[in-house]
């Protein structure tokens, strides 16, 4: 398969942190794929948007399981405490992300 | 099927041997672990094996059947209660009692191996000789005796590793603090189970 086709077919992941200094990235530009309208600015990603891919998938599954950790454990084929421990780690991570919310974002107030 | 949780913990023999609680806990672990605890305990009556302490293993003394039957379940109960209390003390997580009791029961699986290998006739004969201070170093049963001793030590080490992993998973604790409190509870469990079982035996048998 041609490498360019491979690249297009590959699902692109939204980079959350800078590959160089690990600081949180901000979105500067959005483009409508339909009419090519471009919106430029300085957009801070939401807390959920700043989670790692696997963490975002975990949250999606948790919602789809109606918050049932038992169902989630069945889905992941792991034990209940394993899922609960993962959730505890995720809660800690969300709290840490909320704590490092940029100053400008706080000045703007809630959206 | 999604497999994003701890990808390094893919189903492997190593994980199943040293941290099966990643996959099995709660009622399922109790359903497997409790029969193992009871069978290991009762098996002691056939091989004159005693688990008269959380970490103890001895052979040789004939005891009433109820004493054999009580040993392993009592060890399991003592450790479960102590580690549950430790979990409540140091963990910020919501701990389910069934997870602690279930995983601790499953963690005692190595005792079944110990009880079974202790049935080897060569080991039994050599143990009987040693009980009357017959130190025949050329006995053909010596190899069986040494093998059982090595297996027993390995099983105790394996059981301690499993007990710690069970504690870590069911109570969501890790690091130095978890290890220190686990060791303290292990020593306390050993002392409590030993004292209570011996006292019970003295009271009943006299």
The CATH number for A56's domain is: 1.10.10
Q: Is residue A82, in this structure, part of any structural domain at all?
A: yes
Q: What is the pLDDT of residue B7?
A: 41
| Three-state secondary structure call for residue B60 | coil
Mean pLDDT computed over B157-166: 97
In this model, does residue B138 exceed pLDDT 70? Answer: no
Least confident interval from A56-60, A104-108, B78-82, B173-177: A104-108
In this model, does residue A16 exceed pLDDT 70? Answer: yes
User: Which chain B residues touch A58 with a CB distance below 8 Å?
Assistant: 4-5
Mean pLDDT computed over B74-101: 96
Least confident interval from A44-48, A88-92, B91-95, B96-100: A44-48
Least confident interval from A39-53, A77-91, B25-39, B163-177: A39-53
Q: For A73, which residue in chain B has the nearest alpha carbon?
A: B23
Mean pLDDT computed over B188-206: 86
Least confident interval from A8-17, A31-40, A61-70: A8-17
User: Which chain B residues touch A61 with a CB distance below 8 Å?
Assistant: 2
Q: What is the pLDDT of residue B166?
A: 98
Q: Which residue has the tokens 């069970």?
A: B166
Structural domain count of chain B: 1
In this model, does residue A85 exceed pLDDT 70? Answer: yes
Interface test with B, best of A85, A87, A88 (most B CBs within 10 A): A85
Cβ separation A81–B96 shorter than 8 A: yes
Q: Is residue B13, in this structure, part of any structural domain at all?
A: no
Range of the domain at B114: 22-52+62-205
Q: Is residue B6, in this structure, part of any structural domain at all?
A: no
Interfacial B residues in 97-116 facing A (CB < 8 Å) = 99, 103
Cβ separation A85–B96 shorter than 8 A: no
Mean pLDDT computed over B12-18: 88
User: Which chain B residues touch A80 with a CB distance below 8 Å?
Assistant: 25-26, 96, 99
The Cα A23–Cα A3 span in angstroms is: 31
Least Cα distance to B125 among B42, B43, B41, B47 occurs for B47
In this model, does residue A6 exceed pLDDT 80? Answer: no
Cβ separation B24–A79 shorter than 8 A: yes
Partner residue opposite A86 with nearest CB, options B5, B28, B99: B5
- Local structure of residue B5 (DSSP, 8 states): T
Structural domain count of chain A: 1
The Cα B25–Cα B101 span in angstroms is: 9
User: Which chain A residues touch B23 with a CB distance below 8 Å?
Assistant: 77-79, 82
Q: Is residue A58, in this structure, part of any structural domain at all?
A: yes
Mean pLDDT computed over A28-55: 92
Cβ separation A61–B169 shorter than 8 A: no
* B79 has a chain A CB within 8 A of its CB: no
Q: What's the whole-number average pLDDT of chain B?
A: 88
Sign of CA dihedral B153, B156, B160, B166: positive
* A107 has a chain B CB within 8 A of its CB: no
Q: Is residue B2, in this structure, part of any structural domain at all?
A: no
In this model, does residue A109 exceed pLDDT 50? Answer: no
Least Cα distance to B22 among A73, A97, A14 occurs for A73
Q: Is residue A79, in this structure, part of any structural domain at all?
A: yes
Question: Residue B72 contacts by C-beta under 8 Å, 6 or more apart in sequence?
Answer: B37, B38, B40, B41, B44, B51, B108, B111
Q: Is residue B17, in this structure, part of any structural domain at all?
A: no
Mean pLDDT computed over B59-77: 87
* B138 has a chain A CB within 8 A of its CB: no
Least confident interval from B26-30, B58-62, B63-67: B58-62
Which two tokens mark B200?
A: 């019970």
Q: Is residue A111, in this structure, part of any structural domain at all?
A: no
Q: Is residue B1, in this structure, part of any structural domain at all?
A: no
Q: What is the pLDDT of residue A1?
A: 47
Q: What is the pLDDT of residue A10?
A: 66
Partner residue opposite B2 with nearest CB, options A75, A79, A86: A75
Interfacial B residues in 24-43 facing A (CB < 8 Å) = 24-26, 28-29
Q: What is the pLDDT of residue B66?
A: 86
C-alpha dist (Å) from residue B28 to A80, A86, B85, B103, B105: 11, 20, 22, 9, 11
Share of chain A above pLDDT 90, in %: 56
Range of the domain at A77: 14-101
Number of H helices, E strands in chain A: 5, 2
In this model, does residue A62 exceed pLDDT 70? Answer: yes
In this model, does residue B34 exceed pLDDT 90? Answer: yes
Cβ separation B21–A86 shorter than 8 A: no
Q: What is the pLDDT of residue A13?
A: 77
């Amino acid at each position: 398969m041609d490498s360019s086709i491979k690249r297009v077919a590959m699902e692109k992941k939204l980079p959350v942190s800078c590959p160089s200094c690990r600081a949180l990235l901000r979105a500067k530009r959005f483009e409508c794929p339909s009419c090519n309208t471009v919106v430029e600015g300085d957009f801070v990603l939401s807390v959920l948007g700043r989670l790692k891919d696997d963490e975002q998938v975990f949250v999606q599954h948790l919602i789809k399981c109606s918050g049932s950790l038992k169902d989630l454990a069945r889905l992941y084929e792991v034990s209940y405490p394993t899922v609960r421990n993962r959730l505890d780690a995720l809660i800690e991570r969300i709290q840490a992300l909320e704590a490092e919310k940029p100053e400008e974002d706080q000045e703007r107030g809630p959206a | 099927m999604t497999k994003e949780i701890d990808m390094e913990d893919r189903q492997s023999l190593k994980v199943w041997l040293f941290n099966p609680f990643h996959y099995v806990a709660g009622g399922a672990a109790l359903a497997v672990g409790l029969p193992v605890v009871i069978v290991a305990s009762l098996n002691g009556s056939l091989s004159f094996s005693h688990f008269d302490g959380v970490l103890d293993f001895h052979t040789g003394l004939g005891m009433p059947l109820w004493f054999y039957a009580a040993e392993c379940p009592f060890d399991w109960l003592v450790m479960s209660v102590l580690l549950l209390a430790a979990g409540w003390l140091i963990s910020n997580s919501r701990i389910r009692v069934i997870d602690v009791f279930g995983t601790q029961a499953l963690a005692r699986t190595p005792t079944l191996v110990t009880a079974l290998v202790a049935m080897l006739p060569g080991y039994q004969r050599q143990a009987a000789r040693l009980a009357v201070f017959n130190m025949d170093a050329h006995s053909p049963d010596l190899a069986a005796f040494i093998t059982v001793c090595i297996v027993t030590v390995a099983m105790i080490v394996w059981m301690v590793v499993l007990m710690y992993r069970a504690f870590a998973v069911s109570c969501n604790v890790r690091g130095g603090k978890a290890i220190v409190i686990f060791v303290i509870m292990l020593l306390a469990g050993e002392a409590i189970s030993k004292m209570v079982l011996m006292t019970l035996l003295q009271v009943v048998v006299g």
